[in-house]
Amino acid sequence: MVSHLRAARYGGQALNSATARGAALLLFRAVLLSSALLTACSRTDPAIQAAVDSQLAVDSATATLSLDISVTRGVVHLAGVVASRDQQRRAVELTRSVRGVKDVVDEMHLSDAVIAAAVKQALLADPLVGKVPIDVDSTNGYTRLMSDQTNKEERTRAVELAKKIDGVTQVEDRMR
């Protein structure tokens, strides 16, 4: 009865155990070969890096960026300075669209000049501190406010405004 079932399963020919092992080995080899071919057809990390670099270079929003791009097992790390959050989002979006990219790690940050300008703009627009001369300096989001013409209320307000600006990580009050 067992040989009858084997004969029915394998197209009417009875198979002995050696033939069955041979068929299983052949199937195993076919799976290995297809796996190797699939791996060989996927992009290498250097190819992904080149494709991301090219993609960013041809887009008008990201062409001016000077980013550090690294790829490890299909995971792309983007690091460097951007002029806006829109530019940052566009760089991530373009990178995700590249074939072979599994994930994107965004290590980009706003430029110090952009952060300082945004803080200055917020201070100038405020009715309490808008007319007070306050110098602003920023390094990696660490922002310093400097003036020798402020009172306590103006200093408090200036620090509050600066803390709300995108990209500011810490505010140092050097005002008097």
Architecture category of domain 45-110 in CATH: 2-Layer Sandwich (3.30)
Every domain of the chain and the residues it spans: 2-41, 45-110, 112-175
Strand partners, 155: none
Q: What is the mean pLDDT of residues 82-106?
A: 98
pLDDT range class, residue 6, cuts 50, 70, 90: very low
Mean pLDDT of the chain: 87
pLDDT computed for residue 28 by the predictor: 60
- Protein fold of 112-175: Alpha-Beta Plaits (3.30.70)
pLDDT computed for residue 2 by the predictor: 44
In this model, does residue 20 exceed pLDDT 90? Answer: no
| pLDDT tens digits, one per residue of 157-169 | 999 999 999 999 9
Comparing 30 with 70, the larger pLDDT belongs to: 70
Sign of the CA dihedral with 124 first, then 166, 76, and 95 last: negative
In three-state form (DSSP H/G/I as H, E/B as E, the rest C), the secondary structure along the chain is CHHHHHHHHCCCCCCCHHHHHHHHHHHHHHHHHHHHHHHHHCCCHHHHHHHHHHHHHHCCCCCCCCCEEEEECCEEEEEEEECCHHHHHHHHHHHHCCCCCCEEEEEEEECHHHHHHHHHHHHHHCCCCCCCCCEEEEECCEEEEEECCCCHHHHHHHHHHHHCCCCCCEEEEEEC
In this model, does residue 113 exceed pLDDT 70? Answer: yes
Considering the entire predicted model, what is its pTM? Answer: 0.71
- Listed range (16-30, 33-47, 71-85, 114-128) with the worst mean pLDDT: 16-30
